[in-house]
């Protein structure tokens, strides 16, 4: 069974940066569309960014120009570089596949203080 393990979260001041990592144990990783989601406190989980196997990317408007999603198909890793962080970015961040969802990992907490 495929596993997702997110890491890299933490507490950061507004304007700061963090880099999240997601390890994906799945033999089909290189052809999957991978994505980062987040769930703010008391709210629904939302899609933040996605990346195809080719490397093309999409972002929700609220993070465009601040977040960058990337992948390393040789290492089965997905990354989310987050810059100019805002308090409203506070959430638990998860990765998963848009081409056939995998079992959700535990996520990684990102807290941005004002």
Map tokens 């907490």 to a residue.
Answer: 109
C-alpha distance across the termini of the chain, in Å: 40
Q: What is the pLDDT of residue 1?
A: 78
pLDDT band at 60 (very low <50, low <70, confident <90, very high): very high
Q: What is the pLDDT of residue 84?
A: 98
- Are 67 and 81 in contact by the 8 Å Cβ rule? The answer is yes
Reported as a single tens digit per residue, the pLDDT across 70-107 is 999 999 999 999 999 999 999 999 999 998 888 999 99
Distance, in Å, from the CA atom of 109 to the CA atom of 91, rounded to the nearest integer, reads 6
Q: What is the pLDDT of residue 2?
A: 82
Reported as a single tens digit per residue, the pLDDT across 5-55 is 999 999 999 999 999 999 999 999 999 999 999 999 999 999 999 999 999
Reply yes or no on whether the pLDDT at 4 is more than 90.
yes
Q: What is the pLDDT of residue 100?
A: 83
Distance, in Å, from the CA atom of 89 to the CA atom of 62, rounded to the nearest integer, reads 9
DSSP H/E element including 57: strand 57-59
């Amino acid at each position: 069974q495929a596993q997702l393990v997110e890491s890299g979260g933490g507490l950061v001041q507004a304007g700061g940066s963090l880099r999240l990592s997601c390890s994906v144990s799945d033999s089909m990783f290189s052809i999957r569309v991978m994505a980062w989601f987040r769930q703010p406190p008391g709210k629904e989980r939302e899609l933040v960014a996605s990346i195809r196997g080719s490397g093309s990317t999409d972002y929700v408007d609220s993070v465009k120009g601040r977040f960058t999603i990337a992948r390393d198909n040789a290492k089965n890793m997905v990354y989310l570089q987050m810059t100019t962080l805002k308090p409203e970015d506070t959430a638990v961040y998860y990765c998963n596949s848009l081409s056939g969802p995998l079992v959700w990992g535990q996520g990684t907490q990102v807290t941005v203080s004002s």
